[in-house]
């Protein structure tokens, strides 16, 4: 089993945080990845699931999963009309609720979106960066847009330059155009958004757009997410740092942008993307 370090200390506890709604089929697949994390690292993993109005057996599955682990399943107050909110406002509310309920014993939190897949070595890659960079408070994965190989026929006419990516932990084969999918959350160090395009020169999807960036192992940004992010506990517990679905001008935006900006503005830490730490977002 591997030991993880940040720049200051050995990592003893990591809390995995996930928002779920009608996520049963995904949870049945990703459970294997959680088990591999538990077997691969000398870390005490705990879990915080926030379930919001599922019509399938999501809650029952989570309860069964947590029966053998340390963790908690929480639900928002049913009297709050969340479905009347814009998506970004609803997501911000739920993320802030999970933040409020986050346990006090962890040194790092691992936020994972549903429909995101990863290999268990993602933590080693990310903490290798953190062990050498004490200025990083939020480290994001490099989120690639993918399709499952079995879905190729459905998307073949729309997608050029597909190449094979193997998610070895789940034994699934993904095809990708090397497109960074989370462009809504991404702003560069000049605070510029390129949404809906990514600017990576290797991307085969954003044809005809400015593509000036080559992949580095570590890139500092104003904001990002990428489906998986490690966040220092002191930032999760800082009550002045919140996700928000609107900016200071009351314009709708990705909820991650305001949270990332608060890290840059209200702490000594920075936000970065570990571009060698791949996460995979499967197109529905």
Map out the domains of the chain as residue ranges.
Answer: 13-282
Structure tokens at 47: 């879990």
Task: Report how far residue 5's alpha carbon sits from residue 191's, in angstroms, rounded to the nearest whole number.
Answer: 30
Per-residue pLDDT of the chain (284 residues; tens, 9 = 90+): 899 999 879 999 999 999 999 999 999 989 999 999 999 999 999 999 999 989 999 999 999 999 999 999 999 998 888 888 899 999 999 999 999 999 988 999 999 999 999 999 999 999 999 999 999 999 999 999 998 776 666 666 666 666 667 666 767 788 888 889 999 999 999 999 999 998 887 888 886 566 556 567 899 999 999 999 999 999 999 999 999 999 888 999 999 999 999 999 999 999 999 999 999 998 87
Task: Report how far residue 184's alpha carbon sits from residue 181's, in angstroms, rounded to the nearest whole number.
Answer: 8
Q: What pLDDT, on the 0 to 100 scale, is given for residue 214?
A: 58
Supply φ then ψ for residue 61, to 5 degrees: -65, -45
Query: DSSP letter string over 36-66?
Result: HHHHHBS-EEEEEEEE-S-SSSHHHHHHHHH
Where do runs of H (alpha helix) occur along 50-150? 58-66, 87-100, 122-132
Q: What pLDDT, on the 0 to 100 scale, is given for residue 151?
A: 61
Supply φ then ψ for residue 95, to 5 degrees: -65, -40
Q: What pLDDT, on the 0 to 100 scale, is given for residue 14?
A: 97
143 forms beta bridges with 279
3.90.550.10, 3.40.50.1970, 3.40.190.10, 1.10.3720.10: CATH of 13-282: 3.90.550.10
Angle between helices 87-100 and 255-266 (to 10 degrees): 50
Cα end-to-end span (Å), the chain: 35
pTM of the model: 0.93
DSSP conformation class of 95: H
Q: What pLDDT, on the 0 to 100 scale, is given for residue 252?
A: 93
Q: What pLDDT, on the 0 to 100 scale, is given for residue 195?
A: 92
Q: Give the total residue count for the chain.
A: 284
């Amino acid at each position: 089993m591997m030991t993880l370090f940040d720049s200051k200390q050995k990592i003893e506890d990591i809390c995995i945080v996930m928002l779920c709604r009608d996520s049963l089929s995904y949870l049945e697949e990703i459970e294997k990845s959680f088990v591999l994390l538990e077997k691969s690292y000398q870390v005490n993993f705990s879990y915080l699931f926030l379930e919001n109005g599922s019509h399938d057996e999501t809650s029952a599955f989570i309860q069964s999963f947590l029966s053998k682990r340390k963790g908690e399943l929480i639900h928002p107050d049913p009297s709050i009309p969340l479905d009347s909110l814009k998506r970004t406002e609803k997501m911000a509310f739920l993320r802030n609720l999970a933040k409020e309920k986050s346990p006090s014993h962890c040194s790092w939190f691992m936020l994972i979106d549903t429909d995101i897949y990863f290999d268990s070595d993602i933590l080693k890659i990310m903490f290798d960066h953190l062990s050498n960079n004490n200025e990083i408070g939020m480290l994001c994965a490099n989120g690639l847009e993918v399709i499952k190989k079995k879905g190729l026929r459905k998307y073949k006419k729309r997608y050029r330059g597909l190449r094979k990516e193997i998610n070895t932990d789940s034994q699934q084969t993904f095809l990708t155009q090397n497109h960074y999918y989370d462009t809504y959350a991404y702003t560069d160090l000049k605070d510029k958004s390129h949404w809906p395009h990514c600017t990576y020169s290797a991307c085969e999807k954003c044809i005809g757009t400015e593509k000036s960036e080559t992949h580095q192992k570590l890139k500092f940004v104003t904001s990002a997410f990428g489906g998986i992010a490690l966040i220092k506990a002191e930032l999760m517990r800082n009550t002045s740092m919140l996700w928000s679905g609107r900016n200071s001008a009351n314009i709708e935006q990705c909820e991650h942008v305001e949270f990332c900006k608060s890290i840059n503005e209200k702490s000594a830490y920075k936000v970065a993307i570990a571009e060698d730490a791949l996460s995979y977002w499967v197109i529905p």
